[in-house]
Amino acid sequence: MRAMPTRSLPRRLLLGPGPSNVHPRVLAAMGQPLLGHLDPAFLEILDRVQAGLADLFGVRAGLTLPIPTTGSGGMEACFANLLEPGDAIVVGVAGVFGTRMCEVAQRMGAQVSRVDSEWGSPLHAERVAEKVEEIRPRVVAFVHAETSTGVQQPVEAIAQAARRVDALVVLDCVTSLGGLPVSLEDWGVDAAYSGTQKCLSCPPGLSPLHFSPRALARVQARQRPVQNWYLDAGLLAGYFGEERVYHHTAPISAIFGLAEALDMIAEEGMPQRILRHQEASRSLLDGMTALGFAPLVAVDHRLPMLNALEIPEAIRESTGGEAGFRRRLLENYGVEVGGGLGPLAGRIWRVGLMGENARLTSVEALLSVLQRELR
């Protein structure tokens, strides 16, 4: 007989780029017996989840829904609905997820123009605006909180430039939603996606998604049907709208968990939650700097929930290098931190303080472990 996972799982403090730890209330909600996906009692919960997500996204109209994919599936959904083969898109790229946007759009047959900034720096809004003016694309897309670098991007200036040429704006909110202020309607963003495993502190597996009325009109006006049946916003609207027509079988337990997490966010209030993320980050940076780490990102553009820190020599040169050092933290103390990606691999750590983990206790636990190991 194989060992039962429920009896043998180690405990972890998840301070990487996600998933983050989940509150026991959310786990308990997910552990409730199932309801059917057309059961009125379930649809009531789904209504609440959709309304709660709309609040977080800062929208009062359009279609807001949790789709059964991870965050990358949300990216796929936005592009699959808003792009047709041959459409032009301008993508702001300053990390892994901007790069991924280019690849996803390219595969759909779009004409991709990218405007790059150095990894660790924010997008240069004026350079993006110039490219948008030049290309006059169908879609302008970029990442709000770039998880690979810890940079917060300038949203409004780029969105305004896009609106001037009547382009639709797609924003990746995977790491920002639930931890940073998000106001899609005020900003003029037409479509956005997130993931549940970052600042919402649910398990991975759902992507909160929003399409503005303008985005939905674009989907309606397509010349060809959306290539992706599963992610077609028109079909999704049948189930996630008033009709509640069967499209796919909604992931009941994950929705229970998300409902509970959204209740907890409403109880805490977003202003307090945002403040909590900022305080935890400040405390982390103080402690890590004292240990020889250096913030990668300039102070005005740092993400509080994803702290990119250049690794001191002592760790880079320890047995097994920085990856071996992270492995020891995981195995000996149950503490997970993230490594760098792409050009930043081996050079930075990414320390996530997301949702439930954005607390001084998480910060102190990490600092204490590092002090002991570096002593």
Q: Which of residues 18-47 bind a copy of itself (CB under 8 A)?
A: 18-22, 25, 27-37, 39-41, 45
65, 104, 158, 363: which one binds a copy of itself (CB under 8 A) = 104
Residue 307 forms beta bridges with which residues? 351
Residues 243-272 that bind a copy of itself (CB under 8 A): 246-254, 256-257, 259-260, 263, 266-267
Going residue by residue from 108 to 127, which x/- string records binding to a copy of itself, judged by CB under 8 A?
Answer: xx------------------
**Contact between 58 and a copy of itself per CB under 8 A:** no
Residue 161 or 226: the one with the smaller Cβ distance to a copy of itself is 226
Among 176, 197, 212, 362, binds a copy of itself (CB under 8 A): 197
6 interacts with a copy of itself by CB under 8 A: yes
Q: How far is the CB of 115 from a copy of itself (least distance, A)?
A: 21
Distance CA 138, CA 83 (A): 8
CA torsion sign, 163 to 166 to 167 to 168? Answer: positive
Binders of a copy of itself in range 322-341 (CB under 8 A):
330, 336, 341
How many residues lie near a copy of itself (CB under 8 A)?
Answer: 78
Read off the amino acid at residue 129: A
- Cβ nearer to a copy of itself, comparing 41 with 221: 41
Instruction: State which of residues 113, 121, 227, 278 lies at the interface with a copy of itself (CB under 8 A).
Output: 227
Among candidates 92, 157, 140, which has minimal Cα distance to 119?
A: 92
Q: Per rule CB under 8 A, is residue 225 in the interface with a copy of itself? A: yes
Considering the complex, state which of residue 24 and residue 313 has its C-beta at the smaller distance from a copy of itself: 24
